[in-house]
Amino acid sequence: MWHFVDPSLQFESQLKIIESSFKKVFSIPSLEKVRQMGNSEDDKEDIENLYQNILNMYEDTLLILVSKDLYKLQILKDMAMWMNEDSSYLQERAIVVISRVLSFASRKVRGYASVDAPCLGVLAAELSLLCCHNDVSITQQASLGMHHLLCIAKCQNEDIEKTKSTKYEKHGNHCLLSPSCDTEFVPKVLQRDRAKIAQSVGQTLMPSLLTDFVWSLLMTLSSPNCVTAFKASTILKLTLEYHAHKVTMVSKIVDAIYKKLRENSSHVMRQAMLRVTTLLTRTSPKKVIFQLMDYPVPADDTLILMWHAAGSESSVAPHVLKTILLILKGKPGEVHASLPERRRFSLDTTNMMPVAASQALCTLLPVGSYKKAVAQFFPQLLMALMLQVFYISELRLVTEDRPFYARDALRVLLNCSGLQQVDIALKKKNCWNQFSEELFHHQGVYLIAKTLSEYNFPQFPETLQYLYKLSVEGPRRSEDSVITVIFFTELLNNFFKDPFPEEFLVLFRNWVNDSNPAVSKLSLQKIANMAPVINEIENVCSLLISILDAFLSKEKTVIIRALLTLRRLLGKLDKVTYSSLCIRIASSYCPLMDHSNEGIRSMAIRHFGELLRDMSHYMWMLNDVVLGGLVPLILFLEDTDISVVKACRHTLTICTSELNWSTSYLLKDKYYNFELVVLNICNNLLVSHENYITDLISDTLGFLRSSRIYLRKASVILIGYLAKSGGHLLLRDEIEVMLEAIDRVLWDEDPIIRQLAEITHKIFKEIAHRLTSSHVKQTFRRLFHFIYIKKLKPLYNYNWPNNLASSPMKIKETDGDKEGLTDENYVYMFVKNET
């Protein structure tokens, strides 16, 4: 019965046997010494045959293993390592065996559909060292073995390219990859020529195998044998000089170099390791820099050495700065799941890579080879560092024993960019020392922008261009936009006169409705300052509309700022433009009249009145809006906030004046009574705007559910009067809805509201009862209302002085009442009783 054997366990078992056999076989003395053991020629011949048979048997065993599975070439890699570890073994004979097995394998792979030999990279590294051996015989055999190994690798590459070609053909793409190199690897060329070895290996091995090759040589740099380490460093540098782009696992290599140098700062191969870092940065700057930033802050001497190595070449400097700028987009303490390098955001419990990047800039920016790159990326570095200063101060990461690298890097940037005077001026203003205070940061950004402008910094054009691009694309974080707007606005203030060019005004228009309230307020503040030149702005209508949109903000301070800005602009706006927008502006005020914030209510109501006064000659356009806004203007006369009450009286005075209603005197403190005001307005509506009464009732119904008691009281009274004056206009369905709303108020927690609601409920019942009469009677009644208008009399006596109710001049119906008692009579009686 056959039993399944795990291939990995089988290989481990075979490898142990091979290793044990290796140590025994290749520990045998040389053939010359063995022959000397024989006493006769026959003995010597027998011993020699035995000697050869032992070696041949070992070789045959390897050939059998490899013939069944090319993966077993792994054994040759281990053999080479055992041989290099102990020079007492028969190195020449061992390398002959390795070479022969590789020769056999190279012939065999030609008939294989696929080649699985993952050990070729490490084996190539071992053979490359042996190709530089002092013993010519070993060098010859090693170069021959390398020749066969590269032939196997070449077949492996061809197999991969065939697979890719087939894949392309399946997708209908016949543009195949370039064919594999047809270069023949001449063994003699590989002898002791390290450049040729590096060239051949780099060109032939696929990326994963070349990475193994590089890693193996890197580990050899720590070999106690200085000669071997030197050979490895030479081949390693030559390989990376031209083929570093094929190396994967760059981060792992950089991390290994850092750990080795940190363990031994005076490592004999230190310069070689630093050179490897430099060469890897050429082709993989992002991977190298990200790895170098993923160590504890502040950086130690070893890390600073590697920073210098990574950025030692001027051609690499732009790529290094680009990568550092990418890191500086991060916020200390914040993890970005979207970044491909997110797995490296793992030190401590927070992301400190931006802090490390700031320290790196302190080191790299002054380097001469960076001068051109610093000039190229000045705007990006300037903004990135200002944002980092903000993040650090916000998180309170700066302490007496913890350097402020972002601020220091900002100063270094200024000094490296020919702006030493700016740095000195900011120091005199105590800007740098105060940056650690969170509350100062916005002021600090303003100071930097202002000081740069004062010294006419030559980088202004590219800085402005970058800020514009940043503003159009939008920042990564909401808080970033605050810094951008402050800096951008101050630069524009110093280099342009109001109004700004249209391309910049568009930005401020968009910022008005930014998700960050601070940005909105900054933009509104700047727009308000443009009031004197508002008529010079080309697209002023869209600017005003954007301010109206800000009325919808959830942030109260934004709405207040928008109201103030709009009022300031309207005060200077030409009447033609004003009139074209007055209806929309007036309509935008109306929802704010019922805002939960007293300040916003008061301001919206007052500004609504100011608009009516400004547009008095265009009142015919605004009649609908004015009448539509009457309900809140009336109800908030009873507001508990005195500023809202005053605003309502102010605006109602303007409204009634423009509508030619005699209501204004009732709004004065001397004569004011809420019910009298409502009575007067409803009588005027009945006379001049009867068709609006139904809509006003609907608007008032919404206030019956208000949480504010004074609004519920006022709305019950207003609905009663509106219903009394316009009941003949209501339909049966409308009355049912209104009765249902009043029914709920009958159960209000406030006893006064319940009493008022009973009177209003009775009014609706009377109206509903009249609707039950015949159709002819209803038609006659409506016609009578159109011909004869009877003014209303007081219904509630709400908040009236006691002496008015008990006065001998008590209101009673007279002959004159048939035409309607005038409101002047009511006031006259009220005043007379008061005296």
Phi and psi at 402, nearest 5°, equal -125, 115
With residues binned 3-state (H G I as helix, E B as strand, rest as coil), the percentages for the chain, rounded to 5, are 75, 0, 25
Q: H/E element holding 505?
A: helix 502-511
User: With contact defined as beta carbons under 8 Å apart, do 428 and 456 qualify?
Assistant: no
First to last CA, the chain: 126
pLDDT band at 737 (very low <50, low <70, confident <90, very high): confident
Hey, how many other C-beta atoms are within 10 angstroms of the C-beta on 179?
A: 10
The confidence score (pLDDT) of residue 190 equals 63
Taking each helix axis from N to C end, the angle separating 250-263 and 301-310, rounded to the nearest 10 degrees, works out to 140
The confidence score (pLDDT) of residue 198 equals 87
For residues 291-320, average pLDDT: 90
Classify residue 612 by its DSSP letter. Answer: H
User: With contact defined as beta carbons under 8 Å apart, do 315 and 372 qualify?
Assistant: no
User: With contact defined as beta carbons under 8 Å apart, do 307 and 342 qualify?
Assistant: no
pLDDT digits (tens, 9 = 90+) for 628-681: 899 999 999 999 999 999 999 999 999 998 888 888 888 888 888 899 899 999
Rounded-to-integer distance, Cα 312 and Cα 326, Å? 20
212-221, 399-408, 592-601, 738-747 — which is least confidently predicted?
399-408
Rounded-to-integer distance, Cα 132 and Cα 146, Å? 12
Q: What's the residue count for the chain?
A: 835
Whether 92 has a pLDDT exceeding 50, the answer reads yes
Torsion angle of the four alpha carbons 221, 226, 230, 233, in this order, in degrees rounded to the nearest 10 = 0
The confidence score (pLDDT) of residue 78 equals 75
155-164, 280-289, 514-523, 579-588 — which is least confidently predicted?
155-164
**Helix and strand element counts for the chain (H, E):** 41, 0
Decide: helix, strand or coil at residue 399. Answer: strand
User: With contact defined as beta carbons under 8 Å apart, do 327 and 306 qualify?
Assistant: no
The confidence score (pLDDT) of residue 690 equals 81
User: With contact defined as beta carbons under 8 Å apart, do 287 and 251 qualify?
Assistant: yes
Rounded-to-integer distance, Cα 387 and Cα 392, Å? 9
pLDDT digits (tens, 9 = 90+) for 236-274: 999 999 999 999 999 999 999 999 999 887 777 889 999
Decide: helix, strand or coil at residue 297. Answer: coil
pLDDT band at 302 (very low <50, low <70, confident <90, very high): very high
Rounded-to-integer distance, Cα 9 and Cα 99, Å? 27
For residues 544-548, average pLDDT: 95
**Residue 526 CA to chain centroid, in angstroms?**
26
How does the average pLDDT of the chain come out, rounded? 81
Phi and psi at 316, nearest 5°, equal -90, -25
**Token digits for 687?**
């006379």
For residues 775-779, average pLDDT: 48
Torsion angle of the four alpha carbons 232, 238, 239, 244, in this order, in degrees rounded to the nearest 10 = 120
pLDDT band at 73 (very low <50, low <70, confident <90, very high): confident
pLDDT digits (tens, 9 = 90+) for 406-426: 999 999 999 999 999 999 999
Rounded-to-integer distance, Cα 390 and Cα 331, Å? 10
pTM above 0.75, yes or no: yes
Hey, how many other C-beta atoms are within 10 angstroms of the C-beta on 499?
A: 21
The confidence score (pLDDT) of residue 620 equals 84
pLDDT digits (tens, 9 = 90+) for 96-153: 888 888 888 888 877 665 667 788 899 899 889 888 888 888 888 888 988 889 888 8
